[in-house]
Amino acid sequence: MKSRWSISALSAFFVAIALFVAGCGSSGVPSGSVATVAGNPISKRALNHWMYLVVKSQSAQTPNEPIIVPNDPPKFASCIKEAKAGYPQLAKESDSAVRTTCKGVFTQLSTEVMQFFIEGYWYQAYAHKLGINITNAEIQKQLDQEKKQQGIKTNAAFEKFLAQYGYTNNDINWRTRETLALQKLEKRYNTKVTQADIAAYYKSHASTFGTPETRSMRIVLAKSDATAKKALAALKSGKSWKTVAKQYSTDPTTKNNGGLLPNVSKGQQDAALSNAAFSAPLNKLVGPVKGSFGYYVVQVVKINPATHQSLAKATPQIKQTLTTKKQNSASTQLNKKVKSLYGARTICATYYVVNDCHGYKKPKATATTPAATAPATTPTPTTTSKSSKTSTTSK
């Protein structure tokens, strides 16, 4: 993926975008921090480091481009200087125009990072409250599983991965701890799918587990009943469908291919034609049939019977669907719970307020300041954590 500072992307950045996350900071945030979550400070250094990880990941496909992380709000003097130095095309742009870009990218990056940190602390605080412990052995086991999934087989390969994307071991360990906390918390909710659940779903979604009958047919669509009768007589006399359709049919789709309509489901065509075709015996000439667009002569040439998937064959698919649904429900319930416990104790500094911060107010959308989209995720190791949208960093 290209860096957000690639030349192609920069052209779009000069459209005005949301300048700041809504809301104000609080005097409850310690010096040098951007937030405090249930008494745990998030340092500005950690935030900047992780924003760097996001941009570095996005720049992986364009290694020769500069990595610029806008981290000096509100004036973004360093960002402006680095952007103009890194991209000569911007040298003649006004500081105001480049600042708008810096602000927009800062909002996107900082919002994603802040939300990850906040949710991660919420999960770990709640796990501690419930007496859920996460051991170093569990962290190592989880990390080993993720390395295996990504084909990282040696320590050297892992160190190369860390260097390539800017991770530290502390980054990986904290993310893994957060992942395990989330997994253990979600297990407290009912996500088990029973056979009764599967059977009920199968019954209520019966039409999705199979295919309807289809028929292939040949038709002539004529403007009048008299013309349709001439076409029918010609076919009965032994003339080919190719000849008759070309001579008598007005249907542009089938006129030049022998009148063939393949694999038609009931109700897919003109109602009169559909009713006639799906009640006709195989290979019998039928017509003229008056329809909405004229008069039809039709002959069914192939019948593909309806199919229906058995409950046994449908079970794996249904189980996966229901498991995902229950897991999403558990995640929603969990996030609602931790926010109720720690939301009021999540205080964010000016310029760093996101929707999980206490006192957050949604910004008013305007035609000139559309909401910026979130940055793309950083690379593996992957995680089942809802919050692990990007890599983690030490706090």
pLDDT tens, residue by residue, 23-40: 334 457 999 999 999 889
Which pLDDT value is given to residue 368? Answer: 39
CA angle 382, 387, 388 (to 5 degrees): 25
DSSP single-letter state for residue 135: -
Instruction: Find tokens 């940055």 and name the residue.
Output: 375
pLDDT at residue 264, as a whole number:
93
Q: Could you report the per-residue pLDDT of 292-323, keeping only the tens digit for each?
A: 899 999 999 999 999 888 999 999 999 999 99
Q: What pLDDT sits at residue 9?
A: 29
The angle that helices 311-342 and 95-129 make with each other, rounded to 10 degrees, is 100
Average pLDDT, integer, range 80-109: 92
- pLDDT (average), residues 340-349: 95
Segments in the chain forming alpha helices (H): 7-13, 44-58, 77-86, 95-129, 136-149, 155-165, 169-186, 195-204, 225-236, 241-248, 271-277, 311-342
Q: What is the pTM of this model?
A: 0.64
| pLDDT one-digit tens code per residue, 223-243 | 999 999 999 999 999 999 999
Element (H, E) at 214: strand 214-222
For residue 17, the model assigns a pLDDT of 24
pLDDT for 13 beyond 60: no
**Assigned token pair, 356:** 């999980």
Q: What does the pLDDT average to over 175-204? A: 93
Per-residue pLDDT averaged across 159-166, rounded? Answer: 88
Residue with tokens 């602000």: 103
Q: Please report the pLDDT score of residue 27 as a whole number.
A: 54
The pLDDT score that the predictor gives to residue 22 is 33
Q: Which residue has the tokens 């593909």?
A: 304
Q: In the structure, what pLDDT confidence band is assigned to residue 374 with cuts at 50, 70 and 90?
A: very low
Least confident of 5-19, 276-290, 315-329: 5-19
89 or 390: which carries more pLDDT confidence? Answer: 89
Residue 6 reports pLDDT greater than 80: no
pLDDT of residue 85 exceeding 80: yes
Residue 174 has pLDDT above 50, yes or no: yes
Over the stretch 355-370, which tens digit does the pLDDT of each residue have? 999 989 887 765 433 3
Look at residue 114 in the predicted model and tell me its pLDDT: 94
- C-alpha 74/C-alpha 123 separation (Å) is 31
- Amino acid found at 226: A
Domains and CATH numbers, the chain: 7-190+321-348 (1.10.4030), 210-308 (3.10.50.40)
Work out the pLDDT band at 377, boundaries 50, 70, 90: very low
Predicted local confidence at residue 347, as pLDDT? 96
DSSP-derived secondary structure letter, 24? -
Q: Give the mean pLDDT of 286-295.
A: 92
Average pLDDT, the chain: 83
Which of 188-202, 232-246, 380-394 is least confident? Answer: 380-394
Give me the percent of the chain exceeding a pLDDT of 70: 85
